[in-house]
Amino acid sequence: MTETLTEILIVFIKIVCALVWFLLLTLYLTWLERKESALIQDRLGANRAPIFGIRIIGLFQPFADAIKMIFKEDFVPSFSRKFLHTLAPFISFFFVAITIAAIPFGDILRIGNRTINLQILDFNVGLLFILAMLSLGIYGIIISGWSSNNRYTLTGGLRGAAQVISYEVALGLSLIGLIMVYPSLRLSSIVVYQGELLFGFLPKWGIFLQPLGFVIFLFAALAETKRVPFDLPEGESEIIGFFTEYSGLKWGLFMMTDFMEIIIISTLLTTLFFGGWQVPWLASDGFHFPWGGELLLPHVVIVLFQVAAFNIKVFFFCWLQILIRWTYPRFRYDQVMDLGWKLLVPLSLVNIIGTGIIMTI
């Protein structure tokens, strides 16, 4: 009885920790986006929002934004389908938030004789689960566009749906090669496989085994996040997007969904192509360097190393995605479609065949 209760408690704590990590990172990505874009453009960026006169480079800005958004008027247009209009942002938010359940944050943490998996749920179809949930998020876009009962939002929603569905194909296909190499859909297993070494020194990370797959996945994933240069569904600056009729917190949910997608894409990139929580040459008892050295470390330190490695990699990819967003202009709609169907899908098919040929050899 107590055993089950403890198990439940542990899972509960894991959920809370993961969600807090997820949402805090989301909040601070908005800050990072402002600061990074500012640095790129030789500006300072948000540096106000003081608490008791303390500014620390605008670190409280996300909270100020959140408070503002909460207290803004929640305007629902009289001509909209009220229920669906309210539901749409929650659908979008929910299906992205739930994907965090399958992400492995680290290896196994041993406390006493209890082993805790640093992952909320270790699915055997973890990868498919994430892809499926990301695909379901499209309903939020379509419903918001349709229920706003506004021609512009509807076309925005349709653009979004078309784009997301197109890139879903390339996204899935690009991962098939990877699954062929690491024969598992369980994300924890994929990460464990990546702990092995290639030619004795190179970690067996996905980037080295599937370079083409990585590039295709990166492009498709960027399109999946619906941000510049693939921000056709929104096009906040010029073309009118699907959440035009939203305001306040509901609009905020859509915006947060975008940032959460960035994080999920980053965690996926990390987990699939950059070894997840793996630190090169760090085994479960310490470092085993390829040139023969050894550095044995206590278990807790190793787990900390692993979690830190995972976080650093995720942060890097978040940074990279924001860099991309602030570098490139928006694609034209037909260019987006061309890139998806005429380049990425054939390339990913070539990648599958190539992988197959190399593996049989």
Which residues make up the interface to other proteins (CB under 8 A)?
Answer: 36, 38-44, 323-324, 326-328
Sign (positive/negative) of CA torsion 267, 272, 277, 281?
Answer: negative
Of 38 and 180, which has the nearer Cβ to other proteins?
A: 38
Give least dist CB 323 to other proteins, A: 6
3 in Cβ contact with 233 (< 8 Å): no
Give least dist CB 40 to other proteins, A: 5
Give least dist CB 41 to other proteins, A: 7
Give least dist CB 219 to other proteins, A: 11
Tokens 């699954």 found at: 179
Give least dist CB 34 to other proteins, A: 13
Give least dist CB 163 to other proteins, A: 19
| All residues at 6 or more sequence positions from 118 whose CB lies less than 8 Å from its CB, including other chains | 14, 104, 105, 106, 107, 108, 109, 277, 303, 306, 307
Of 110 and 342, which has the nearer Cβ to other proteins?
A: 342
Give least dist CB 261 to other proteins, A: 20
Of 71 and 328, which has the nearer Cβ to other proteins?
A: 328
